[in-house]
Amino acid sequence: MNCNIIKDLLPSYIDGICSEDTVAAIEKHIEHCQGCKDTTQKMQQPTVQIVETNVEAAKEPFKRINKKRRFQVITAIMMTFILTIIGFQVVQDVGVVHQFFFPKVIAIAHITDDREEWQSISFSADLINDQDYVIYDSLFWKKEIINDANNENDVLLRVKDEKGDVIIDEILIPLGKGVKLDGLKRKEKYFFEIKAPQGRFSINAV
């Protein structure tokens, strides 16, 4: 049997579908023909090699996708972190922004006698420009009045509307504590009066 016939029969030989006589003839030929022997050995291995090659080739696009995805996630995390820091700095350092999100006005009251009379107080966001009323013009107002912890005594406060009518009467605010002012409406002017012993008092509206 010449080599060409052997090579034609090799696929059937490898698949095990040749007759016993054909198998014997092929194996006898292979023993004496190095070329056909090499061809047979190569034909017995290709499936594994091709599968491994195909698997690696199939993985390659996903590796590229995964690398790109990791880069996108890391970039997004870094951008979020940077924007958070910038936003925090803006809120803290830019007065208008800080005042919008964390509204607060301060009143400094000087009580010079013990006549126990109500005294009007004026509020300021910057301790420079005073106004004798508070307007809750933002959703971020807590509508809470605080007796600063650095004061010396408890204080009494009351709240009037634009007509001069008392709408919240005699709120006792302990030293260093705050009291919620329930019922006050947004975008309306409210006037505060204080009654306290002699001294200097810092009152915070938040």
Coil, helix or strand at residue 105? strand
Q: Are strands 155-160 and 134-135 parallel, antiparallel or unpaired?
A: unpaired
Report the predicted TM-score, pTM, of the whole model to 2 decimal places. 0.53
**Burial readout 89-115 (b: 16 or more C-beta within 10 A, e: otherwise):** eeeeeeeeeebeeebebbbebebeeee
pLDDT tens for 27-65 read 888 888 888 888 888 887 755 444 455 666 666 666 666
Per-residue pLDDT at 100: 66
- Phi first, then psi, for residue 164 (nearest 5°) are 90, 5
Which one has a higher pLDDT value, 122 or 140? 122
Stretch 122-143: mean pLDDT: 86
Stretch 108-135: mean pLDDT: 86
Calculate the CA 4 to chain-centre distance: 72
Mean pLDDT of the chain: 82
Number of neighbours of residue 158 by Cβ within 10 angstroms: 16
Per-residue pLDDT at 50: 46
Per-residue pLDDT at 94: 47
Point out the least confidently predicted range of 68-72, 138-142, 162-166.
Answer: 68-72
Which one has a higher pLDDT value, 158 or 186? 158
> Does the pLDDT of residue 105 top 60, yes or no?
yes
Per-residue pLDDT at 15: 82
Torsion angle (degrees, nearest 10) of CA 182, 183, 186, 187: -110
User: Which helix H or strand E contains 110, and what residues bound it?
Assistant: strand 105-111
> Does the pLDDT of residue 147 top 70, yes or no?
yes
What's the first-to-final CA gap in the chain, in angstroms? 104
Stretch 195-203: mean pLDDT: 92
d(CA 58, CA 50): 12
d(CA 5, CA 148): 106
Number of neighbours of residue 187 by Cβ within 10 angstroms: 8
Which one has a higher pLDDT value, 156 or 45? 156
Per-residue pLDDT at 126: 77
Coil, helix or strand at residue 119? strand
- pLDDT class of 172 with cuts at 50, 70, 90: very high
Which one has a higher pLDDT value, 205 or 4? 205
What angle do helix axes 3-15 and 20-32 make, rounded to 10 degrees?
Answer: 120
